[in-house]
Amino acid sequence: MVNRQPDMRQLMKQAQQMQEQLAQAQAQLAERRFDGSAGGGAVTAVVTGGNELVEVVISPEVVDPDDIEMLEDLVVAAVRQAMEAATQAANDELGGLAGGLSGLLG
């Protein structure tokens, strides 16, 4: 029976290729935009895949000076929804690459 050890150079080359693929996928994801809305679209928020809030749009009909709390809640809900969409996309798109890299190195 021959004891075959993995070629360390080949493993390192594969790891480097996977790291490059992961970095490229992360950069592409960071450029994408994800929307979230609340109050039936009265408030919308846009975040990037890099978790940067880039836009909030508030419909004039929802602005009530006597109920600022509701508006604040709608903004928070819209931002959370957009962030969840970005996080889900990151998990879907990067999860396989990151898992493969840790499996290769671990």
pLDDT digits (tens, 9 = 90+) for 8-50: 888 888 888 888 888 888 888 889 999 999 999 999 999 999 8
Residue 83 has pLDDT above 90, yes or no: yes
- Please state the pTM of the whole predicted model: 0.72
Q: ∠ at Cα 21 (82, 35), nearest 5°?
A: 10
Number of domains in the chain: 1
Nearest to 43 by CA among 75, 86, 79: 75
Q: In whole angstroms, give the CA distance from residue 37 to residue 33.
A: 13
Beta strands across the sheet bearing 33-38? 33-38, 43-48, 53-58
Question: Residue 15 belongs to a domain with what CATH number?
Answer: 3.30.1310.10
Instruction: Tell me whether residue 48 is in a domain.
Output: yes
